[in-house]
Structure 1
Amino acid sequence: MTGIAGGLVRAGVTLPVAGVAVAGHAFLMVCVFMGTVIAIERAVALKHVVAFIGPLTSGGAGLALLAGAPQAAAWLAVAAALAFVGVNLVVVRRQPAAHTGLLLAGALAWFAGSVAHALRVLDGAVVPLWFCFLVFTIAAERLEMTRLMRRHVGAGPALLGILAAAACGALLSGFAAGWGGLLYGLSLAALAAWLAVFDIARRTVRAAGLSRYMALCLLTGYAWLFAAGLAWGATALGLPWRDAALHGLALGFVFSMVLGHAPVILPAVARVKVAFGWPFYLPLMLLHVSLALRLLGGYLDPRLTAAGAAGNALAIAAFALTLGASAIAWRIQHAPSQRKPRHEAPAGN
């Protein structure tokens, strides 16, 4: 909540938020929130208590930042990322595959970005590397799903080449922001095209229920990823499209993936089942409409940027409430009847 509030202040919304939350908005959202959530998911899958050291440490990093110790928070994030690298090494050893290798590459990107952040070097590479962590993780999950489809023999190598270019662009951004940003942006756009062509969502969007909802989340997310990639490259060339690059990627792409996968991941991680229904579409629509208002309307009137950002926050809150309500609805639907039968056999003699 503090990370979101800090982002709202940066977008022009007046809120009583500490300065460290405003300055550390990206750190709180990527390293603390997303890092902790993803690390918990991986720890549950690994089924070993030691794997929870990472998410506990990244959560502690957020508390340290809000307590006014940003340098301690930065090094805690480094420790959390390093622990996450260790977890993914175990995953790769157990299941050597292209998608587990990408998960490890994402963990390494988080670690590299966090080290640069803690040492205050290669500032231009920090945020792109943090985004590589998220993008690589999502790409790995989608690559695993494409194993269910027949695809061109060159699709796998093409994906690895695109992600390698993204990693190079992120690192180059620390030395030559223009060239690095251009390569990074073009790589993101290429990844969106790859996902649009090869992802199984192209087929499941014609299904019904949860499958269609997830597919719509994915496909709209890929559209935002393409737009964010172009905006990132344009920003590197000097155009004022930084907000579209950052939040088209973070909100349009990453949070679309969160909205799409949460109804499946939450039951697996928290052992809480949800009753899927049409209300899940409301936060999704609000997210995309408010993001379009923020990124397109903001060029006409800065107040539209603030209004769109407030809509983004409302969409995230609405999704959390929808998840909670759907979990309660499932319990009610599947609760055993408490009513006694009308006719009971008499007690035995």
Structure 2
Amino acid sequence: MVTFILKRIGSGLVVLAAISCLTFFLLYFSSTNIARNILGEYATPEQVAAKQAELGLDQPIFSRFLAWVAEALTGNFGTSWFTNESVVQAISNRLPVTLALVVTSIVIIAILSTLIGVAAAVKRGWIDRAVQIAAVIGDAIPNFVLAIVFVTIFAIQLGFFPATSSIQPGADGGAWVASLTLPVIALVISGLTSGAQQVRSAVIKQLEKDYVRTLRSRGISEGVILFKHVLRSAAPAGLTVLSLQFIGMLGGVVIIEQIFALPGMGALAVQSTTLGDTPLVMGVVLYTVIIVILVNLLVDLANGWLNPKVRVS
């Protein structure tokens, strides 16, 4: 197990280093005159040159990258070039909103998709057909379309929820619930059908295997067979889908946060990328990749616990 974990961590660190390098150089080649953007169009050439020297923009790209890596390894990701806010502080203020939105949605999807998928696999009939039809419809409708419909009906027209987020520093739990309810529902509806479809297929595949018939011939109840044996064997497929949905939400939640004006990582990523704020963009990318690596590691560990063959693959 230790070797298994070390291999996963090592591969994650390689991915983190590759993405950091690629992002830094892409920002260098795609950015315009950052110093001019910071100072404004009326700044003199001397002021622009002084600002470039202050930010280290007059240094070779490799020197700048190595300097950034040296600071990042100590936990210092610098400050925003446009707001002078610490990158760590800017991310820590917004990351909880995004994580609360995505984690809540994934937990609800995991519970409901398991219940619906198992019911569809065992009962078959109309519920099975409904799950398959809903999966096709759910894949065809983007979550941001559902978000626009929900905010129009339940926030603007009926006034049940705030049209824009009321989450602020020090906000109470009521503000968080009111602001996150509609976006969570939009994400859950969008991801539930595909998750239920995957669980259904995995459970049906397990129910058709020989070991299930052997357990039944021994007189073991259907409930024990289903929840102790079949679900454990079918769980890796469901966990893989949930991990992919989590990663997809983490990147795709940008539009959802814009629709509901949530102060999360999505808005920060869009703003910093638009401005060419390299320290902030690198911080956002690094934190996002670290979260993805941790999620994949946890899923791999769960799959390794459920299926020992994974540990030696």
TM superposition score category, shorter chain reference: under 0.3
Flag the structure with more relative contact order, 1 or 2, with Cα contacts below 8 A and sequence separation at least 6. Answer: 2
| TM-score (normalised: structure 2) | 0.27
| TM-score (normalised: structure 1) | 0.25
Q: Which has the larger radius of gyration?
A: 2
